[in-house]
Amino acid sequence: MNNFDLKNKTAIITGGAQGFGLDIAKKFLHFGAEVRIWDNDETELSNVIKKEKNENLKYDVVDVTNFDVVKKTIENLKNSKVDILINNAGITGPTAELWNYPIEDWKKIIDVNLNGTYICCKVIAPIMIKNNYGRIVNIASVSGKDGNANASAYSSAKAGVLGLTKSLGKELAEYNIAVNAVTPAGAKTRILDQMSKEHVQRMLSKVPRGRFLELDELSSLVCWLSSDENSFSTAAVFDISGGRSTY
């Protein structure tokens, strides 16, 4: 394992109570960061805190689609120091052809995956500008580049996250703030439970490596992108799809 110096860094990870978010949080803690995990499930958040027993790990119950809640949560922090933001909160929703896709499900998926990322960046970017430092990593998906059949809402939302990343990265380039996205292939997290078995198998069949992504593989990439070692890359998309995407 590579070592990254995240001491004296404060990180916020959305969707941090499970899956990618929780694994990233654990690795950040290992490298010395102070971490706040955000999620809308207080029971899950509380269970994580009890299990990890780390004084540098705290949580906030946050609905990332609610601007007022996100803004108030940031204002209630004891200091205005946010060095790292990981926009990981996301849902996949049902699988169906676009013409059969329920409108309310479409709106919710766009709201959580894309609008939630926008809101968190909108609130936290000014803090990073003031401090002339920041690392933002948006957890997108390979489906945002390739598109997944029967997952048009999720694919569209994640494609939007990539566009947001490229725009914001350019807007913040004059500061010591890096904004990047990662596009993972499927991993064995609970988000797969939202999909049909047929859809999951179809996703796996597209990966030349022939297996699911390991959580540790993603969190290692995110650690580098969140560290001072990433001093130049911004507005970029880092693929971690096992060869599914070649661009």
Report how far residue 234's alpha carbon sits from residue 136's, in angstroms, rounded to the nearest whole number. 9
Report how far residue 108's alpha carbon sits from residue 28's, in angstroms, rounded to the nearest whole number. 30
Catalytic site includes residue 118:
no
Rounding to the nearest 10 degrees, give the CA dihedral for residues 174, 227, 121, 154. Answer: 120
User: CA end-to-end span of the chain, whole Å?
Assistant: 26
Buried b (16+ CB within 10 A) or exposed e, 205-229: ebbeeeebbebeebbbbbbbbbbee
By three-state DSSP, how is residue 201 classified? helix
Considering 59, 133, 154, 247, which one is annotated as catalytic? 154
| Residues belonging to the active site | 154
